[in-house]
Every structure is written in C-alpha cells, then in structure tokens.
C-alpha cells in the first residue's frame, strides 16, 4: 500500500528529472517511465507541462519553508542558523557536483525559455533571501541585512555552479569553510555603528 497518490508520484518524479535533465529536456515520456504509468494517464492529473512545473515549484517552496522553519526550531543563534544554510552545500554536495544548484538551474533555464513561471521559480530564491535577511537583522545588521543576504546567496550559487563545472567536491568544502568563517567574523550590533 503506497501512501502516495499518483499525482504526488508524478510531481516527485518531475522534480527529480527537472533537476537532473532540465525542464525543457524532460519529456512526458520520461516522467511516465519514471513513475511507471502510461503517458495517456498523464492528462488526467495535469493538463499541461506547465501545470507540472507549477506543482514542482510549489513542492520546492513547501520543502524550503519546512527546512527554514526547522533551522529556526533548533534554538540557536542567528549565526548558527546561517551556518545551517551554508552547510546544505555539504549535505547535497554529491548531487551539486553533478547537477548544480536546483534552484539556480531552474531559474536560469526558465529565463532563457522566457517562461511565464520564472517569477514563481525566483520566489524560491526570495524565500532564502528573506530568511537570511531576517537572520542578519537579528545579528544587529538590520541596516545591510539584505545586502548580506544577497551576498551569501550569490556566493553559494557560484560555488554550486563552479563545483559542478569542474566536478570538484573539495572546492565546495573549502568555500563552505570560508563562508562559515565570514559569518562568524561579522560584527554583532553592540559597539559603534554609523548613525
């Protein structure tokens, strides 16, 4: 007895395939084969390929929200929570080395396809951006919290892309170390700030 509905299995397979092969290069036949259903059955659950993409993006949004909330429940300081974010590069390093960043990859591809869902995909980035911004603000860096959030996001993104291009997992580990050091060295609110 599988607790998963067919629809969920389709979305999960599509999520997997969109990450490894890209959205455009993944066909209905690919997804159907992965799920183990007939292509015709597809139309019952999703009218168009774009509908599947929307469902995949929704799934990733939900998963991201859950992950961010989990990090907040660990009861530590903002520096530790930001470190959790950085550490996902390590947790997912095997897949990152092979397929890059799932969010960045999707956003880039949808931009080139001029796809209507590109803003939806970017919203996943925004989720991280706002969460990081909140953490930096809690560190007393409310003034440049967004700048710091974007900076860290960009560095993580670059690390994923380069690690994938050069198939280099050690590079991820080295850069993760630098980013963790950078967070730790950031000055807390207490003393002199510009007013």
137 secondary structure, DSSP code: I
Question: Which of 4, 189, 23 lies closest to 102 in space, CA to CA?
Answer: 23
In the bound state with its own copies, the residue whose beta carbon lies nearer, of 74 and 127, is 127
CA distance 28 to 164: 26
CB of 146 to its own copies, least distance (A): 10
C-alpha closest to that of 68 among 11, 13, 125: 125
Q: Which residues contact 195 (CB under 8 A, 6 or more apart)?
A: none
Q: Return the residue of 50, 58, 74, 170 that touches DNA, per CB under 7 A.
A: 50
Distance CA 163, CA 12 (A): 25
- Nearest to DNA of 120, 135 (CB atom): 120
Cβ contacts of 11 within 8 Å, gap of 6 or more = 52, 55, 56, 59
Using CB under 8 A as the binding rule, whether residue 181 contacts its own copies is answered as no
Q: Which of 32, 67, 150, 169 lies at the binding interface for its own copies (CB under 8 A)? A: 150
What are the two backbone dihedrals, phi and then psi, of residue 7, each rounded to the nearest 5 degrees? -60, -45
Nearest to 179 by CA among 79, 105, 99: 79
- Among 16, 171, 180, 182, the residue binding its own copies under the rule CB under 8 A is 171
135 near 82, Cβ under 8 Å?
yes
The reply on whether position 18 binds DNA by CB under 7 A is: no
In the bound state with DNA, the residue whose beta carbon lies nearer, of 27 and 193, is: 27
76 contacts DNA (rule: CB under 7 A): no
- Please tell me whether residue 15 binds its own copies under the rule CB under 8 A: no
4 binds DNA (CB under 7 A): no
Kindly tell me which residue out of 9, 20, 45, 130 binds its own copies, with binding defined by CB under 8 A: 20
Chain residues that interact with DNA, rule: CB under 7 A: 6, 26-30, 37-45, 47-50
Chain residues that interact with its own copies, rule: CB under 8 A: 20-22, 24-25, 98-100, 104-105, 107-109, 111-113, 122, 125, 147, 150-151, 153-159, 161-162, 164-166, 171, 174-175, 178
């Amino acid at each position: 007895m599988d607790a998963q509905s067919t629809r969920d299995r389709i979305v999960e397979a599509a999520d997997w395939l969109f990450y490894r092969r890209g959205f455009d290069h993944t066909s209905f036949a690919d997804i159907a084969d992965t799920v183990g259903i007939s292509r015709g059955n597809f139309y019952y659950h999703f009218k168009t390929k774009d509908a599947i993409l929307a469902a995949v993006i929704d799934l990733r949004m939900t998963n991201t929200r859950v992950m961010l909330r989990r990090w907040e429940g660990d009861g530590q300081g903002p520096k530790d929570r930001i470190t959790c974010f950085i550490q996902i590069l390590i947790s997912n390093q095997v897949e990152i080395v092979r397929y890059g960043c799932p969010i960045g990859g999707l956003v880039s591809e949808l931009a080139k396809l001029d796809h209507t869902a590109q803003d939806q995909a970017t919203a996943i980035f925004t989720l991280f951006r706002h969460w990081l911004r909140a953490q930096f603000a809690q560190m007393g860096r409310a003034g440049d919290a967004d700048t710091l959030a974007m900076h860290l996001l960009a560095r993580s993104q670059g690390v994923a892309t380069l690690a994938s291009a050069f198939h280099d997992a050690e590079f991820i580990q080295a850069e993760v170390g630098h980013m963790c050091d950078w967070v730790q060295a950031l000055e807390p609110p207490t003393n002199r700030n510009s007013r």
